[in-house]
Amino acid sequence: MKAEKISELTTNRLSVYLRCLNALTAENIKTVSSEGLANRFHLNSAQIRKDLAYFGEFGVRGVGYYVEELRNTLTNILGLDKEHRVGIVGAGRLGTALADYYGFKRSNFNVIALFDTSKEKIGRHIGNTKILVYNFADFAETVRQENIDVVVIAVPAEFAQEVYGEVIKAGIKAVLNFAPSSLQAHNNIKLKTVDLTISLESLSYFLAQPQSENSASSGNNNAKHEQPLSRKKQLK
Amino acid sequence: MKAEKISELTTNRLSVYLRCLNALTAENIKTVSSEGLANRFHLNSAQIRKDLAYFGEFGVRGVGYYVEELRNTLTNILGLDKEHRVGIVGAGRLGTALADYYGFKRSNFNVIALFDTSKEKIGRHIGNTKILVYNFADFAETVRQENIDVVVIAVPAEFAQEVYGEVIKAGIKAVLNFAPSSLQAHNNIKLKTVDLTISLESLSYFLAQPQSENSASSGNNNAKHEQPLSRKKQLK
DNA sequence: TGATGTGAAGCGGTTCACAGCC
DNA sequence: GGCTGTGAACCGCTTCACATCA
């Protein structure tokens, strides 16, 4: 009844749960408890229950969750039951690689178009999947014609802000950005940035530390580095 | 003096600060206050000061920070002063795109080798940068010969765990994983996963919500979705 | 005076532990 | 008996506010 904010941490975990449920479905397992899910996939059972509880009461006390049913429910919550139509700006190597990336199709995202400004690329069909490269100058028009609702930015950092502006103007509401550049956020627009530079430099930081125990991390969160000796005394 | 754990959130921000400082250097700006940095790049000044303070006292009260000096300091802290030698497992489109990705070089990461199991690819030089594709069967040996210290996993999800095992066996301490599969974490190994599926499904979730105000997000953290109406009553 | 460095407060997310229900 | 759903405790990160110092 009341308006509730769902943390993106929660929805990210829903994706993970869905992936786990797909694995269970493949094994023909019909029902699973939060404890079972947690043990099998190294999650926390209380967190699973709490995440799901934001959206409804899907479990049966004394039993657990019905795998197939929960799978459908999560698919609906995440909006993966509807097709999304993707345009990729930047037909360089990264853009091309993404156009062919199978993971898109699995989540019901279809790459419809590439966009570039290079005369040599415009009008050609690129990649294994032979996606047509449109002129970025015709971006808004193509978005409308092709019903594109998701845009991927795969251009060099210096052009990202400008491209982002055009994307917003064309009425796009969801953007996945690969340029290492913090774009000016907009209301009502979902902007998700995948910053490879930060990921790399995090690895570099780790390698630069005098090796100590602990320090594994898979997700995006809560990870800790070990910092064995404060540098204050050394550097001051 | 005391051992301190540095949050990865902090080191990620150090990367951002370094990027900002590079921009200031390019503009020939010599000194900057935390307030100045914060306003210019939409950060929080207290956070900047606190993050830096974990590593030493780099500022001058009443003045701020010397751009060039802080830039060098952060470069050192993040270990970007030393070359890292990268091997990419999986010479498919994603692996190839990454091999050519200019962002690696900017952070002093040099892609030395690609690895694959496909007979057609082994022995060929791939991509713009003509990186040699090695047989993945010779992985450990090549790692040793070429002094590889960072590995990127760019193989399909079903092979990721197996590849990860081999990577660990070869003594690699830092891994960047692009497979949408939660790998069994290891002590002493830094594993960073870039999960495009989760990013996509987060966009999908957003688009599936009846549009409301707020909801911009650039970083990986703290983002909120709007959930206008709890589904409990509807679904129960 | 002006900006740092930092204890304290605030806030949000995770985990605990148990009442409630099948 | 067993497992969910959830208030309460806990924990860690962020922000505030100010004493400190060039």
- Is 70 exceeded by the pLDDT of residue A236? no
Partner-chain residue, chosen from B6, B15, B182, that has the shortest CB–CB distance to A201 = B15
The CA–CA distances, whole Å, from B232 to A58, A72, A75, B130, B212 equal: 9, 16, 17, 56, 19
- Is 70 exceeded by the pLDDT of residue A3? no
Average model confidence (pLDDT) across chain A: 89
Among the ranges given (A104-118, B64-78, B92-106, B139-153), the one the predictor scored with the smallest mean pLDDT:
B92-106
pLDDT interval class at A114 (50, 70, 90): very high
A121, A133 contact by CB (below 8 A): yes
E-state strands within A73-209: 84-89, 109-116, 125-126, 131-135, 150-153, 174-177, 190-193
Q: How far apart are CA B46 and CA A169, in angstroms?
A: 34
- Is 70 exceeded by the pLDDT of residue B233? no
pLDDT computed for residue B128 by the predictor: 87
B35 touches strand C (CB under 7 A): yes
- Is 70 exceeded by the pLDDT of residue A201? yes
A62 touches strand D (CB under 7 A): yes
pLDDT interval class at A212 (50, 70, 90): low
Query: Across residues A8-37, what is the average pLDDT?
Result: 97
Q: Which nucleotides of C are covered by protein (CB under 7 A)?
A: 1-7, 12-17, 20-22
Q: How far apart are CA B39 and CA B24, in angstroms?
A: 13
pLDDT interval class at A219 (50, 70, 90): very low
Identity (one letter) of the amino acid at A44? Answer: N
Instruction: Give the model confidence (pLDDT) of A122-169 as tens digits.
Output: 999 998 899 999 999 999 999 999 999 999 999 999 999 999 999 999
Instruction: Give the model confidence (pLDDT) of B18-48 as tens digits.
Output: 999 999 999 999 999 999 999 999 999 999 9
**Is residue A180 within 8 angstroms of chain B, CB to CB?**
yes
Buried b (16+ CB within 10 A) or exposed e, B32-49: bbbebbbeeeebeeeebb
pLDDT computed for residue A224 by the predictor: 66
E-state strands within chain A: 4-7, 31-32, 65-66, 84-89, 109-116, 125-126, 131-135, 150-153, 174-177, 190-193, 224-227
What is the DSSP pairing of strand A224-227 with strand B4-7? antiparallel
**Is residue B97 within 8 angstroms of chain A, CB to CB?**
yes
Instruction: Give the model confidence (pLDDT) of B100-113 as tens digits.
Output: 888 899 899 999 99
Q: What is the DSSP string of A65-103?
A: EEHHHHHHHHHHHTTTTS-EEEEEE--SHHHHHHHH-HH
pLDDT interval class at A5 (50, 70, 90): confident
**Is residue A100 within 8 angstroms of chain B, CB to CB?**
yes
Q: What residues of chain A lie within 8 A of the CB of B102, using their CB? A: 156
Q: What residues of chain B lie within 8 A of the CB of A196, using their CB? A: 101, 103, 194
- Record: contact A197-B149, CB cut-off 8 A: no
Instruction: Give the model confidence (pLDDT) of A47-78 as tens digits.
Output: 999 999 999 999 999 999 999 999 999 999 99
E-state strands within chain B: 4-7, 31-32, 65-66, 84-89, 109-116, 125-126, 131-135, 150-153, 174-177, 190-193, 224-227
Q: How far apart are CA B146 and CA B162, in angstroms?
A: 22
Instruction: Give the model confidence (pLDDT) of A70-99 as tens digits.
Output: 999 999 999 999 999 999 999 998 999 899
A66, A29 contact by CB (below 8 A): no
Which residue carries 């199978």 as its tokens?
A102
More confident residue, B216 or A108: A108
pLDDT computed for residue A218 by the predictor: 43
Closest residue of chain A to B128, computed from CA coordinates: A93
Q: How far apart are CA A228 and CA A197, in angstroms?
A: 25
pLDDT computed for residue B230 by the predictor: 38
pLDDT computed for residue B102 by the predictor: 83
Buried b (16+ CB within 10 A) or exposed e, A198-236: bbbbbbbbbbbbeeeeebebbbbeebbbbbeeebeeeee
